[in-house]
Structure 1
Amino acid sequence: MILKLIVSIVVGYLFGCFSTGYFVGKHNHINIKEEGSGNSGATNALRTMGIKAGIATFAGDLLKAFIPVLAVRYGLFRDADMGYLYALYIGLGVVLGHNFPFWMHFQGGKGIAVTSAVIVSLADWRITVIGLILFIAIVAATKYVSLGSLMVAWLLTVNTVLFWRTSEYFIHMLILSLCFMVLAYVRHGQNIKRLLSGTESKLGSKKK
């Protein structure tokens, strides 16, 4: 079992290493690592290259998580508990690959788009809908994408507690779910500092 779990996280990592924002930037003759926040995620792509590039980056990041997670959850395991557990591992691998791609000197995105794809793939549909509504409401009210993103980071943990607490792997699943949240908060460390100081960039604001 340990070997399979290691393979799952490694395969997920390799999927995550496909940095969509970097290639979208190259298509637009831009090195996204040298623009805006220097982040290769969808938010920076949106701010530096416009809505089309932002959507393309977001879609690519979703897809690279959907493919391995759904394949594991519904294609490789008939047992629901094992399917959810292994899908969490491969999803965590995707987030790690997205955040820390080896070929970009371990400087990637912040993992919210891929985390969202894992949530959509694994969470109960009600959790997904509520999360989407809350994200839109928070961003619409505050214009802070980072604040909405930090809220999204909790959804897998909430889903695990609500729907998998009777599983024999519950503690294992809970720890993995919390890892998604911890990674999101670590990668948003500077955003959190700016939110607290009131200097965080708002959606639609022009780059100085």
Structure 2
Amino acid sequence: MQLWISPLIAFLLGSIPFGLIIAKLKGIDIRAHGSGNIGATNVLRVVGKKYGITCLILDALKGYLPVVLALNLVQIENKTVMPMLGFLQDFALHLPREQQLTGQLVHVLTAFCAIIGHNFSPWVGFKGGKGIATSAGVLIALMPFAIILLIFVWLLTFLTTRYVALASIVAAAALPILTHIGARFHHINNDKTQPTLWEAGTWNKPLFVFTIIIAVLAIWKHRSNIERLRAGTENRFERKRKKVHSDPKAS
């Protein structure tokens, strides 16, 4: 059961269209406004900032929670689980080190199902968002240090260009590169006297393949944004300018 329950929960939770629900509560069909996307960015533009942030958090959680569940239900010998959900320990499947590939595949499949559920939700005709927030949620659970670097890449690109779509595309492209670098420099048990995971051949191969797939998927889901960027018609977040009030006494 531990091997299939987490991917199933991930798809079902990932398929909940929070953006559509939030907008509907305000009497708006988000699919008929803005970019037509049900993701947090369009909700923010059309419905408002606090609703967009709420959607962002909920979309991230539906990626984060099922992966945390998988990490706790399917554990690998000598691998630390963070965060540890103590109440699940009686139900956990403990795999020996020799079967770590099985555990890694379950964790990665769970993450993938959450993103697929979001991007191709059966509740909205197998359509959905672009998966950036949900991808961030699964990555926080799988590789939290990498997400810090990705946020830096995203912010740097956004603050430089003011394009959310371009920042998301650049961050997606950077993900497999960061995963590869992490395997090259991360030592076994964080002990620098030990070989790196790459040298020992124990690096997480399913995770690397997963990052390539979700990077390609994220960029593909942004193909309409890429066309608008090339045409110069993509929506851009402009800095708010302070209003200058003239002093009537000075005239």
Measured against aligned partners, the alpha-carbon deviations of 1:142-187 in whole angstroms (never above 9, x if no partner) come to 11001111122235423432226432762x3332221111110110
| Matched residue SS, 1:77 | strand
Shift of 1:73: 1.8
What is the TM-score normalised by the length of structure 1? 0.86
Q: Give the fraction of aligned pairs with identical amino acids, expressed as a percent.
A: 31
Count, aligned residues: 201
- Unaligned segments of structure 1, at least 5 residues: none
Q: CA deviation at 1:35?
A: 1.4
Selected match of 1:114 from 134, 138, 141: 134
The alignment's TM-score, normalised by the length of structure 2, stands at 0.72
Matched, 1:4 2:3: yes
Q: Equivalences for 1:46-195 in 2 at 5 Å?
A: 46-79=44-77, 80=79, 81=100, 82-125=102-145, 127-161=146-180, 162-163=182-183, 165=198, 166-167=201-202, 170=205, 172-195=206-229
The residue aligned with 2:32 is 34
Q: Which portions of structure 1, spanning 4 or more consecutive aligned residues, are displaced by more than 6 angstroms?
A: none
Q: Let me know the Cα RMSD of the aligned residues.
A: 2.4
Deviation of 1:75 after TM superposition, in Å, equals 4.2
For each residue in 1:125-157, what CA deviation from the matched residue of structure 2 results, as whole angstroms up to 9, or x when unmatched? 1x2222111211211111100111112223542
Contact 1:84 1:122 in 2 (8 A): no
Larger C-alpha radius of gyration, 1 or 2? 2
CA distance in 2, matches of 1:104, 1:145: 24
Q: Once the 2 structures are TM-superposed, how far is the Cα of residue 109 of structure 1 from its aligned partner?
A: 0.4
Matches of 1:115 and 1:102, distance apart in 2: 19
Structure with greater helix share of residues: 1
